[in-house]
């Protein structure tokens, strides 16, 4: 009899642990779990914190980050960071991601006039994906035509490149232009100093989707 009672107690304890474990797992589900973001960095001289800070913040919320560049060799940051890209930027399939983020740094100019980079930006807007760029990277978006008549910001030295493309340059540290009618969601930021708030705005936009 005692053995039967002991067995019953063991079964009850195991069952309770199983149920509690499942409930705990549910509670631990991260806010942005299941979201995918591709971050485009220059092969040489991307800006370290503009990549690392958003990646850390978004990953912590459950976002899967894919890093793309113009080469699969180790990419080098201006401050010494070394990153192994996951894919070539030319392999990006916009429909597979919730957001496309272009990272700045002096090397980001390699994408300014790149037809494939511009096509990615255009498809992101067409598909209603979140599109973001920081530092000098918004020039790529401007050259792609997706910032025309929209509010945006950029590293101050590149202001005229945006204005020449019909962009409403605001000079704000971080700018958002969300157009529900056109289904476009664009976030731009000025410099490495805004890396954290840039990441927070991306996070907020993904949470709202």
pLDDT in tens, 109-134: 999 999 999 999 999 999 999 999 99
Mean pLDDT of 72-100: 98
Tell me which residue of 70, 66, 52 sits closest to 112, measured CA to CA: 70
Residue 26 has pLDDT above 60, yes or no: no
What lies within 8 Å, CB to CB, of 22 at 6+ separation is: none
| Beta strand extents in the chain (DSSP E only) | 36-40, 44-46, 64-69, 75-77, 82-83, 87-88, 99-102, 130-134, 151-152, 168-169, 174-179, 184-189
Per-residue pLDDT band for 208 (boundaries 50, 70, 90) equals: confident
27-36, 48-57, 166-175: least confidently modelled range: 27-36
Residue 16 has pLDDT above 70, yes or no: no
Per-residue pLDDT band for 94 (boundaries 50, 70, 90) equals: very high
What lies within 8 Å, CB to CB, of 15 at 6+ separation is: none
Cβ proximity of 149 and 168 under 8 Å: yes
In angstroms, the CA 178 to CA 186 distance is: 6
Radius of gyration, CA atoms only, the chain: 22
Residue 23 has pLDDT above 50, yes or no: no
In angstroms, the CA 51 to CA 29 distance is: 25
Angle separating helix axes 195-208 and 48-60, nearest 10 degrees:
40
Cβ proximity of 108 and 78 under 8 Å: no
The reported pLDDT for the residue numbered 55 is 98
Q: Which two tokens stand for residue 171?
A: 């000079």
In angstroms, the CA 107 to CA 45 distance is: 5
Residue 51 has pLDDT above 80, yes or no: yes
pTM for the whole structure:
0.86
């Amino acid at each position: 009899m005692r053995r039967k009672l002991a067995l019953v107690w063991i079964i009850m304890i195991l069952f309770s642990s199983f149920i509690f474990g499942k409930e705990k797992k549910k509670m631990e589900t991260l806010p942005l779990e299941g979201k995918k973001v591709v971050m485009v960095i220059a092969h040489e001289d991307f800006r370290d914190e503009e990549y690392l800070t958003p990646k850390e913040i978004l990953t912590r919320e459950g976002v899967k980050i894919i890093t793309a560049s113009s080469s699969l060799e180790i990419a080098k940051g201006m401050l010494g960071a070394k990153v192994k890209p996951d894919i070539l930027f030319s392999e990006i399939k916009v429909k597979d991601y919730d957001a496309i983020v272009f990272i700045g740094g002096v090397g980001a100019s390699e994408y300014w006039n790149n037809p494939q980079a511009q096509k990615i930006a255009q498809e992101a807007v067409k598909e209603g994906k979140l599109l973001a760029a920081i530092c000098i990277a918004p020039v790529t978006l401007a050259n792609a035509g997706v910032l025309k008549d929209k509010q945006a910001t950029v590293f101050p030295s590149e202001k005229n490149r945006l204005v020449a493309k019909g962009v409403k340059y605001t000079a704000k540290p971080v700018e958002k232009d969300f157009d529900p009618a056109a289904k476009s969601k664009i976030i731009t930021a000025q410099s490495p100093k805004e890396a954290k708030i840039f990441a927070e705005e991306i996070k907020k936009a993904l949470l709202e989707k």
